[in-house]
Structure 1
């Protein structure tokens, strides 16, 4: 008899044994001796029968029967009424709800400790605050080097994603060269292309149906692998049962949730905060999608598609564990660092050029320039204001720049006297800021040259001028 026919006969008999087990008052009464007797009753030659835990991640007790080189697992706990399973299911549903709030999915390649810290930071916050916390945490997890591994070692190796590798690589380098919005815009269509290439045989289906077909197939392989590709009753291989039992199935299911509820969600039904939505991008409904966090999300989501492909067609091209960086990812990472360094030098030159005209560099969709202004304003404050004041005998306390890095204040004390001095990023600052500083400052200074100073300082009686040209008064000598 052909091998496949023999297997089919055995599987049919295994089903018969299972139906007999289900007639017991309690599955926990099932044991090895009982299964061995039943197997012999239906003409099976028992090679081995033992009781042991089976299944990956969260094993369940079972009777393991081997007949004719084929093994079958007969669980001794219910697939629906096991309190341990029910508790695990609820715990995973709670975690999935947190990922949903963060508009993300259970991540691969991240240590459990970091995942726990991220979930704790997000769980009890509003959607808006949750996204802020999430973006902060993933900026320390999905680092420049992490992204390089995703691109050079995952995306490049995936059958589905390899054709997009040059685009993703260029987007990565462009992002760190300062072209952030265009880099994000380049990756959004790639996400849709990845889904279509994986589900090429389902190309005529609606997007949601394509997602379900692809994820269902990946979960099906995970179920088989979870039970060592041996026979097990069907109810123990469903995604509903394995949701809280198999970590791979949970990752795939939360990825399904993210694809359907966030990225491919219809415009009128999307209620998120990240705006990382294919339809909102295509129709120009909003530009909020252009932020740093979304670039990191897209790179990792594409790499995750590589894992889905591996479990969809058993290609095993993208691993579940994070590998060491190889030469390709190290070189890509170093290339991005060079791009970032060159971009910083360029931004400094741009800033200097605009400052000649008393202006700030116009903001970009992904960067309002405040961090660079803050660094420059702080450095110039130390060099041209704090040091001269100290040389003049004052004890100086330097404040922090405001949120937009347009102004800051210093407090100088000496001989029982205290003076406040304001420092502006440029002469061309709103008159209301000048008026507010004039209430407490003996002088209002600014970086760069004067530029229509009188237009911005009507009614200001305190000294106003470039910081480089101001000579601080000597500190009075105390008694």
Structure 2
């Protein structure tokens, strides 16, 4: 009843053009005409991104706010609208959402580290922006944030607390080298969380899209009225989505999250074309492996923190404290375990590569690791320590160094001494495609050396007649060419 009466009062103020100049007594009299008795009335200012002058009224039926102007008449509203709409489009272009925990200024600092300038993004393609943004994700969702979120924030969640053991195991798996498995383990939590958030309010929805919209609409409504001094009524125009997005940063955060969920994560697979590949349908239905990128684990952490934010807004009894970060024994223990996993991963990689080289065994490729970075590191180190250094000590001048080349797993260098020039290629192993041997010979390489033991060299290097092929440890530095 009170809402109907307040709507009638507001309509009268609008039509009689008295929003900015009605006195308290006149508002009390007008309310009486609409059968609403005002017991008390005070001047207030409320709002988040800017302050709105209003009358706060107290009645037996509840409290209400009567702003002293239309929403479109607020000072600097047009400048605010232009900024926030452009900022909203920026998040669409990079295929993400405004993350909780961060200010615009702090995010801008992180973006600059990956060569993204929010003020100049319009001149850059979406694919380029999204590719550059991939490098920002580990900085936004750092180990420190992960550890403190899961060890402290999630424990106070009625929705996510039950998943903490799985979340911890996923983090440890990620830093042990199993990024794709870790991501896959967490994706199903999203829909369970949406369902349980609605259960806090005894609401049921049949489709996932309905759950997304209902969760976010409910969070926006609760956020709106909390920031409006917890009144029971405000004019409809101050509840409109387009106004709330520019007047309340938390609601802007929610709307960017909604947009990403609906138009990226839950987008129909046939319309999905984002760089990250992080689409629920491609994952759940095995439509493709485009989602299998290590950086999507950081995205998953971001999604879960955003859902925690929604829960905190919706649940009136929530004990989740978003902006109080404390180091505890639990956070230190998890952080130490992550560091141990990273050290063990490095040791495991070194042991595996050594074993594979010594026994001429193939590398077991996984979606996370094809072994190339480790092989490239060994090629570079071997070239520097066992070829270039030895050549220099023998009077050769080395030049024209190549980076490790993935197709073929090799690295090259040229060296000169007096009037002689030699070209050397170092293969990761003898068991290299014959085409690579032939390409190197056609490009006039004098020596094709390889790491590890002699293994079916006649077969792999079949047809090589001019270049000298041999294990690195059998090579003797020539005096002249």
**Deviation per CA, 1:137-158, whole angstroms, max 9, x where unpaired?**
1122222222222322223321
Aligned residues: 463
The alignment partner of 2:281 has SS state of helix
**Deviation per CA, 1:33-66, whole angstroms, max 9, x where unpaired?**
634433256566786644x642012323x23345
Deviation at 1:211, TM superposition (A): 1.3
CA contact (8 A) 1:199 1:214 kept: yes
Residue 89 (structure 1) aligned with residue 81 (structure 2)? yes
Deviation at 1:416, TM superposition (A): 5.2
TM-score normalized with structure 2 length: 0.86
User: Given the alignment, which residue of 451, 454, 457 partners 1:453?
Assistant: 457
Choose 429-438 or 192-201, whichever is displaced more.
Answer: 429-438
**Deviation per CA, 1:275-314, whole angstroms, max 9, x where unpaired?**
3222222211112212111111112211211111111122
**What is the distance in 1 between the residues matched to 2:315 and 2:173?**
33
Choose 98-107 or 304-313, whichever is displaced more.
Answer: 98-107
Aligned residue in 2 for 1:120: 117
**What is the distance in 2 between the residues matched to 1:88 and 1:287?**
41
**What is the distance in 1 between the residues matched to 2:271 and 2:78?**
31
The alignment partner of 1:302 has SS state of helix
Question: CA 1:415–1:180 in structure 2 vs 1: closer, same or farther (change >3 Å)?
Answer: same
Question: CA 1:311–1:49 in structure 2 vs 1: closer, same or farther (change >3 Å)?
Answer: closer
Aligned residue in 2 for 1:348: 350
1:14-163 matches, cutoff 5 A: 15-25=7-17, 27=19, 30-31=20-21, 34-39=23-28, 42=31, 49-50=42-43, 53-60=45-52, 62-65=53-56, 67=58, 72-80=64-72, 84-116=76-108, 118=111, 120=117, 124-163=123-162
Deviation at 1:123, TM superposition (A): 5.2
**What is the distance in 2 between the residues matched to 1:362 and 1:123?**
43
Question: CA 1:269–1:81 in structure 2 vs 1: closer, same or farther (change >3 Å)?
Answer: farther
Question: CA 1:471–1:314 in structure 2 vs 1: closer, same or farther (change >3 Å)?
Answer: farther
User: Given the alignment, which residue of 469, 474, 477 partners 1:472?
Assistant: 477
Residue 443 (structure 1) aligned with residue 439 (structure 2)? no
The alignment partner of 1:465 has SS state of strand
Q: What value does the CA root-mean-square deviation take over the aligned residues? A: 2.9
CA contact (8 A) 1:66 1:72 kept: yes
Provide structure 2 residue ranges, at least 5 long, that are not aligned to the other structure. Answer: none
**What is the distance in 2 between the residues matched to 1:56 and 1:329?**
32
TM-score normalized with structure 1 length: 0.87
The alignment partner of 2:246 has SS state of coil
Provide structure 1 residue ranges, at least 5 long, that are not aligned to the other structure. Answer: 1-7
CA contact (8 A) 2:153 2:322 kept: no
**What is the distance in 1 between the residues matched to 2:336 and 2:450?**
38
CA contact (8 A) 2:446 2:466 kept: no
CA contact (8 A) 1:262 1:276 kept: yes
Aligned residue in 2 for 1:5: none
**What is the distance in 2 between the residues matched to 1:77 and 1:404?**
67
Question: CA 1:96–1:290 in structure 2 vs 1: closer, same or farther (change >3 Å)?
Answer: same
Aligned residue in 1 for 2:380: 378
Choose 403-412 or 98-107, whichever is displaced more.
Answer: 403-412
